[in-house]
Structure 1
Amino acid sequence: MKYEADSPEAYIDLLPEDRQEPIRRLRKCILSNLPEGFEETMSYGMIGYVVPHSKYPAGYHCNPELPLPFLNIASQKNFIAFYHSGIYADPELKAWFVEAYRERVPTKLDMGKSCIRFKKPEHIPYELLGALCRKISVSDWIQLYEEKISR
């Protein structure tokens, strides 16, 4: 679902009550663990974390006016989504995450190319997602993006 909000706080306020606290907690987890240099913004109707133009002037290859996206969180119709571009671009990182998830979380992983879906907020592994956030710096992400995606 897409919510029309101009800030992360406004986005969270628009969510159904049962989604507000998990998204608030997920946001706090990301902000506490994301390496320096990423910026929080609203992108694609979700809370986003991007490499700003000041650090990567080329921007996003699909639309250079936009900063380079890295991570998004959203409340969708049937789940909470955690979109992480690093697991899409780096097979080793994806393999690490899949194994770490299996070891720590009793439920089956529901994952697409970059989207990790949580149908029940109580199953969100905040500590593991924090560890995932710490795995890629801004410079690592730019290099990975240029090598694997922007071509």
Structure 2
Amino acid sequence: MQYKADSPSEYLEQLPEERRIAVGRLRQVILEHLPQGFEEQISYGMLGYVVPHSRYPNGYHCDPKLPLPFINLASQKNFVALYHSGIYANKELLDWFVAEYPKHMSTKLDMGKSCIRFKKMETIPYKLIGALCSKMTVEEWISMYETTIGNKK
């Protein structure tokens, strides 16, 4: 689901209370653990954490007017989704996350290529998400993007 919002706080205000609490807490975890240089904004109708044009003028290869995306956080119809581009681009990071998940959760991991889905708001592994968000710097993401995704242009 996309919400019409111009700011992260406006996005959160539109969510039902249970989702607002969970997404708000995930947002705080991301902001506390994300390395310096990423910026929060509304991106694709979701909360987005991007490499701004001031750090990476080339922008996103699909639309260079957009900054380079890294993480998106959204309240979808049946779940809260965390989209993490680093997991999609870096097999080592993906393997780390998949191995760590059962140490934090008793439920099965519900994941797509870059999308981690949380259906039960009370069981979101905030500590694990914080660790995941701290694992890649802006410079590392730009380098990985240019060598993996950026070359697919």
TM category (shorter chain) comes to over 0.9
State how far apart, in whole Å, the 1-side matches of 2:62 and 2:133 are.
24
Query: How large is the RMSD of aligned CA atoms in angstroms?
Result: 0.5
Determine if the alignment matches structure 1 residue 139 to structure 2 residue 130.
no
**Matched residue, 1:62:** 62
| 1:33-78 superposed Cα distances (whole Å, 9 cap, x missing partner) | 0000000000000000000000000000000000000000000000
Which runs of structure 2 are paired with 1:17-36 in the superposition (5 Å)? Answer: 17-36=17-36
Structure 1 runs of 4+ with >2 Å offset: none
- Structure 2: which amino acid aligns with 1:131? A
Matches within 5 A, 1:82-97: 82-97=82-97
**Cα distance in 1, alignment partners of residues 60 and 5 from structure 2:** 22
1:102 aligns with 2:89: no
Gaps of 5+ in 1: none
TM-score (norm 2): 0.98
Report the alpha carbon displacement of residue 21 of structure 1 after superposing the two structures with TM: 0.4
Identity %: 64
1:123 partner letter: T
Secondary structure of the corresponding residue to residue 129 of structure 1: helix
Partner of 2:47: 47
Tell me the TM-score normalized by structure 1: 0.99
1:104 and 1:143 map into 2 onto residues whose CA distance is 30
Tell me what 1:4 maps to. 4
Write the letter of the residue equivalent to 1:70: F
Task: Tell me the number of residue pairs that the alignment of Structure 1 and Structure 2 aligns.
Answer: 151
